[in-house]
Amino acid sequence: MRVWALVAAMYGALAITSPALACKVLLPGPPEQVAAAFANQQAEMWDEADLVIVARVAQVRTKATPGVQAARQVDLMPLTSLKGQAGSWQFELGYTGTSSCGPMPAFNAIAGQSGEQFVLFFKGDTPMQDAVLLSITAEDLVEPRALAALKAQEGSRSQWYPRLSLRRSINRGFICLR
Protein backbone atom coordinates (compact mmCIF):
# COMPACT_ATOMS: atom_id res chain seq x y z
CA MET A 1 0.00 0.00 0.00
CA ARG A 2 2.83 2.40 0.84
CA VAL A 3 4.45 1.71 -2.52
CA TRP A 4 1.28 2.73 -4.36
CA ALA A 5 1.00 5.90 -2.31
CA LEU A 6 4.63 6.73 -3.05
CA VAL A 7 4.19 6.07 -6.77
CA ALA A 8 1.02 8.21 -6.84
CA ALA A 9 2.83 11.05 -5.04
CA MET A 10 5.74 10.90 -7.52
CA TYR A 11 3.39 11.03 -10.52
CA GLY A 12 1.54 13.93 -8.94
CA ALA A 13 4.79 15.84 -8.42
CA LEU A 14 5.84 15.18 -12.02
CA ALA A 15 2.48 16.37 -13.34
CA ILE A 16 2.72 19.61 -11.39
CA THR A 17 6.26 20.41 -12.60
CA SER A 18 5.95 19.13 -16.14
CA PRO A 19 6.43 21.97 -18.67
CA ALA A 20 4.29 20.13 -21.20
CA LEU A 21 1.31 20.49 -18.88
CA ALA A 22 1.82 24.14 -17.99
CA CYS A 23 0.47 27.03 -20.02
CA LYS A 24 1.91 30.46 -19.40
CA VAL A 25 -0.74 32.97 -20.29
CA LEU A 26 -1.50 36.45 -19.17
CA LEU A 27 -5.09 36.32 -18.05
CA PRO A 28 -7.44 39.14 -18.95
CA GLY A 29 -6.90 42.23 -16.89
CA PRO A 30 -7.07 45.98 -17.25
CA PRO A 31 -6.04 47.00 -20.79
CA GLU A 32 -3.08 48.95 -19.39
CA GLN A 33 -1.77 45.83 -17.64
CA VAL A 34 -2.14 43.71 -20.79
CA ALA A 35 -0.47 46.40 -22.92
CA ALA A 36 2.44 46.75 -20.47
CA ALA A 37 3.03 42.97 -20.39
CA PHE A 38 2.89 42.83 -24.18
CA ALA A 39 5.38 45.72 -24.50
CA ASN A 40 7.73 44.13 -21.94
CA GLN A 41 7.63 40.80 -23.77
CA GLN A 42 8.51 42.47 -27.08
CA ALA A 43 11.39 44.44 -25.49
CA GLU A 44 12.82 41.25 -23.96
CA MET A 45 12.55 39.41 -27.26
CA TRP A 46 14.18 42.33 -29.16
CA ASP A 47 17.13 42.17 -26.76
CA GLU A 48 17.42 38.38 -27.11
CA ALA A 49 16.84 38.14 -30.87
CA ASP A 50 19.60 38.17 -33.45
CA LEU A 51 17.11 38.59 -36.29
CA VAL A 52 13.73 40.35 -36.41
CA ILE A 53 11.76 40.40 -39.65
CA VAL A 54 8.39 41.31 -41.07
CA ALA A 55 7.03 38.39 -43.11
CA ARG A 56 3.83 37.78 -45.07
CA VAL A 57 1.93 34.50 -45.11
CA ALA A 58 2.41 33.30 -48.69
CA GLN A 59 0.63 29.95 -48.50
CA VAL A 60 -1.51 28.00 -46.04
CA ARG A 61 -1.94 24.22 -46.14
CA THR A 62 -2.31 21.16 -43.93
CA LYS A 63 0.14 18.32 -43.62
CA ALA A 64 0.08 14.93 -41.92
CA THR A 65 2.23 15.14 -38.81
CA PRO A 66 2.61 12.46 -36.11
CA GLY A 67 0.29 13.35 -33.23
CA VAL A 68 -1.52 16.14 -35.08
CA GLN A 69 -4.28 15.36 -37.51
CA ALA A 70 -4.12 17.75 -40.48
CA ALA A 71 -1.43 19.98 -38.95
CA ARG A 72 -1.58 23.55 -40.24
CA GLN A 73 1.53 24.76 -42.08
CA VAL A 74 2.30 28.21 -43.47
CA ASP A 75 4.97 29.46 -45.85
CA LEU A 76 6.24 32.89 -44.85
CA MET A 77 7.95 35.32 -47.21
CA PRO A 78 10.33 37.79 -45.52
CA LEU A 79 9.47 41.35 -46.52
CA THR A 80 12.03 43.33 -44.54
CA SER A 81 14.56 42.93 -41.75
CA LEU A 82 14.22 45.11 -38.66
CA LYS A 83 17.28 43.66 -36.91
CA GLY A 84 19.95 41.54 -38.55
CA GLN A 85 19.74 40.57 -42.20
CA ALA A 86 17.44 37.86 -43.57
CA GLY A 87 17.48 36.40 -47.04
CA SER A 88 14.47 36.65 -49.30
CA TRP A 89 13.63 32.93 -49.36
CA GLN A 90 10.40 31.53 -47.99
CA PHE A 91 10.43 29.46 -44.82
CA GLU A 92 7.83 27.21 -43.22
CA LEU A 93 6.23 27.20 -39.79
CA GLY A 94 3.80 24.52 -38.69
CA TYR A 95 2.20 22.76 -35.79
CA THR A 96 4.19 19.78 -34.58
CA GLY A 97 2.12 18.60 -31.63
CA THR A 98 -0.49 19.51 -29.06
CA SER A 99 -0.53 20.30 -25.36
CA SER A 100 -3.15 21.31 -22.83
CA CYS A 101 -2.74 24.83 -24.30
CA GLY A 102 -3.67 23.67 -27.82
CA PRO A 103 -1.57 23.23 -30.98
CA MET A 104 2.16 23.68 -30.51
CA PRO A 105 4.25 25.64 -31.11
CA ALA A 106 1.95 28.54 -30.23
CA PHE A 107 3.18 30.96 -32.91
CA ASN A 108 0.25 33.05 -34.09
CA ALA A 109 1.79 33.26 -37.57
CA ILE A 110 0.85 29.59 -38.05
CA ALA A 111 -2.81 30.54 -37.64
CA GLY A 112 -2.41 33.48 -40.04
CA GLN A 113 -4.29 33.87 -43.28
CA SER A 114 -2.73 34.26 -46.69
CA GLY A 115 -1.46 37.83 -47.09
CA GLU A 116 -1.41 38.58 -43.35
CA GLN A 117 1.84 40.08 -42.01
CA PHE A 118 3.72 39.09 -38.87
CA VAL A 119 6.80 40.24 -37.02
CA LEU A 120 9.02 37.31 -36.08
CA PHE A 121 11.91 37.36 -33.60
CA PHE A 122 14.64 34.71 -34.13
CA LYS A 123 17.63 33.44 -32.19
CA GLY A 124 20.34 33.12 -34.82
CA ASP A 125 20.46 34.60 -38.30
CA THR A 126 18.35 32.09 -40.23
CA PRO A 127 14.54 32.23 -40.33
CA MET A 128 13.38 28.74 -39.37
CA GLN A 129 10.91 27.20 -36.96
CA ASP A 130 13.43 26.02 -34.38
CA ALA A 131 14.83 29.56 -34.02
CA VAL A 132 11.55 31.48 -33.48
CA LEU A 133 11.37 33.30 -30.14
CA LEU A 134 8.16 35.23 -30.77
CA SER A 135 5.59 35.79 -33.49
CA ILE A 136 3.15 38.72 -33.37
CA THR A 137 0.86 40.38 -35.87
CA ALA A 138 2.46 43.39 -37.50
CA GLU A 139 -0.29 45.65 -36.18
CA ASP A 140 0.52 44.61 -32.59
CA LEU A 141 4.15 45.74 -32.78
CA VAL A 142 4.86 48.28 -30.01
CA GLU A 143 8.59 47.81 -29.30
CA PRO A 144 10.15 51.27 -29.88
CA ARG A 145 13.40 50.02 -31.46
CA ALA A 146 11.51 47.73 -33.84
CA LEU A 147 9.10 50.55 -34.72
CA ALA A 148 12.03 52.90 -35.39
CA ALA A 149 13.61 50.32 -37.71
CA LEU A 150 10.29 49.86 -39.48
CA LYS A 151 9.68 53.59 -39.77
CA ALA A 152 13.17 54.06 -41.26
CA GLN A 153 12.01 51.89 -44.16
CA GLU A 154 8.60 53.53 -44.39
CA GLY A 155 9.39 55.64 -47.46
CA SER A 156 9.83 52.77 -49.92
CA ARG A 157 7.82 50.17 -48.07
CA SER A 158 4.94 52.00 -46.40
CA GLN A 159 2.57 49.04 -46.79
CA TRP A 160 4.55 47.26 -44.05
CA TYR A 161 4.16 49.98 -41.45
CA PRO A 162 1.65 48.61 -38.94
CA ARG A 163 -1.26 50.38 -37.33
CA LEU A 164 -0.30 51.01 -33.72
CA SER A 165 -3.05 49.15 -31.94
CA LEU A 166 -3.21 46.41 -29.33
CA ARG A 167 -6.93 46.02 -29.98
CA ARG A 168 -6.62 42.51 -31.41
CA SER A 169 -4.46 41.22 -28.54
CA ILE A 170 -6.60 42.81 -25.86
CA ASN A 171 -9.82 41.55 -27.46
CA ARG A 172 -8.41 38.01 -27.55
CA GLY A 173 -8.23 38.32 -23.75
CA PHE A 174 -4.77 36.84 -23.29
CA ILE A 175 -1.30 36.84 -24.66
CA CYS A 176 0.70 33.63 -24.84
CA LEU A 177 4.08 34.09 -23.23
CA ARG A 178 7.08 31.89 -23.85
The answer as to CATH 2.40.50.100 being correct for domain 2-176 is: yes
Q: What is the pLDDT of residue 23?
A: 60
DSSP class of residue 114 equals T
Q: How many angstroms separate the CA atoms of 169 and 136, rounded?
A: 9
Q: How large is the angle between the packed helices 31-48 and 144-152, nearest 10 degrees? A: 70
Mean pLDDT estimate for the chain:
77
Q: What is the pLDDT of residue 146?
A: 93
Compute, in degrees rounded to 10, the torsion defined by CA atoms 158, 164, 170, 174: 60
Tally of CB atoms within 10 A around 137: 18
Higher pLDDT, 177 or 61: 61
pTM over 0.85: no
**Are 46 and 52 in contact, with CB atoms under 8 Å apart?**
yes
Task: Say if residue 102's pLDDT is above 50.
Answer: yes
Tens of pLDDT along 107-125? 899 999 999 999 999 999 9
Domain residue spans in the chain?
A: 2-176
Tens of pLDDT along 2-34? 544 433 444 444 443 434 445 665 556 888 888
Weakest mean pLDDT among 51-60, 84-93, 130-139, 167-176: 167-176
